[in-house]
Chain A
Amino acid sequence: MQKHKTVNAAVNSWIVLIFLSVMAIYLPTFIDNRSHYIICALIIVMLKGQQIVDVFMELNNAPKFWRLLFLSYIVLLPLIISVIYLL
């Protein structure tokens, strides 16, 4: 049962990742304001990163320290980049 759960989680993640990637490309057609667009694009990066870290890398089953370390990378780096772009 656990294995089926893992496969289902991977399939769901794959669908979410593909959807978010396509959405990132078409964001400018929905959002005119560049600042808003940058923020949305970087939020998408965070969401995609979380899926890869937790589901593909299986860090959701790893010690909390390692999971938080990698999640902080995919949150902090887009934050730093957005601050640079929005300054």
Chain B
Amino acid sequence: MISPAITTASPDEVRPDKKRPDEKYSDKKLPGDLAMWFFILAELTVFALFFIGFAVSEQLNKEMFTQGKAQLHQTAGLINTIALITSSFFVALALNVMHQAKAKQAVWLLLTAKAFAIIYIAVKIWEYFSLFAQDITIETNTFFTLYFLITAFHLMHVLLGMVILAFIAHSAWRDKYHNKDLAGFESGTSYWHMVDLLWIILFPLIYVI
């Protein structure tokens, strides 16, 4: 039997300083869809294995890895780092203006982000071709096998990220997102930040250390 005290109590009568249990975490919300975060975790795990494998291989072939790193273009790596960080910055701004329901402005910010991603891709392709010009390929030695595998795998993620950014930009342009429901938009931006996060580990590991 339901107590009369419970049935007659209105929300206004609840003490304002006493939060309901479900209100406790109401201001803490995971951006985007939960599924995207699990996907991001899976990707991070795969790359973690690559990075650890690279470090172990370097310890086993120190001389080969030192020579290999000397043949890489550090400035190209730095340009790519700056390009991806700046791209990620514009994506963060795009999400910010989407929260203010300025979809068209968000689209322009996403296009700027994509322009920086194109710089990354152009520099990476130039880097590959400059290595090919020196007769360095994926079969040259263990260092370059890992270098091409890891960087090309990352490049694939950049390309996929660009497709996702294009999709959310297109959806935003057609006003498919509403202020309260930005889960799809947030999922896309989170994926892009993951690509950036991976590069900031990849860059020092392969180019610098």
A residues whose Cβ falls under 8 Å from a Cβ of B: 3, 6-7, 10-11, 13-14, 17-18, 21-22, 24-25, 27, 37-38, 41-42, 44-45, 48-49, 52-53, 55-59, 61-64, 66, 69, 73-74, 77-78, 80-81, 84-85, 87
**What total of chain B residues lie within 8 Å of the partner, measured CB to CB?**
43
Smallest CB-CB A-B distances: 5 pairs: A14-B89, A84-B55, A21-B81, A17-B85, A10-B92
Chain A proximity of B30: nearest CB distance (Å): 5
Say whether B125 faces chain A, with CB atoms less than 8 Å apart.
Answer: no
- The main secondary structure of chain A at its interface with chain B is helix
Give the distance in Å from the alpha carbon of A87 to the alpha carbon of B62 in the complex: 13
Say whether B95 faces chain A, with CB atoms less than 8 Å apart.
Answer: yes
Chain A proximity of B123: nearest CB distance (Å): 14
> A7-B93, A25-B74, A73-B44 known; A64 and B28 CB under 8 Å?
yes
Please state if B78 and A62 are interface contacts (CB–CB under 8 Å).
Answer: no
> Count the A-B residue pairs with Cβ separation under 8 angstroms: how many?
114
Chain B proximity of A39: nearest CB distance (Å): 10
Please state if A52 and B88 are interface contacts (CB–CB under 8 Å).
Answer: yes
- Give every chain A residue within 8 A of B208 (Cβ-Cβ): 24-25, 27, 41
Give the distance in Å from the alpha carbon of A44 to the alpha carbon of B196 in the complex: 15
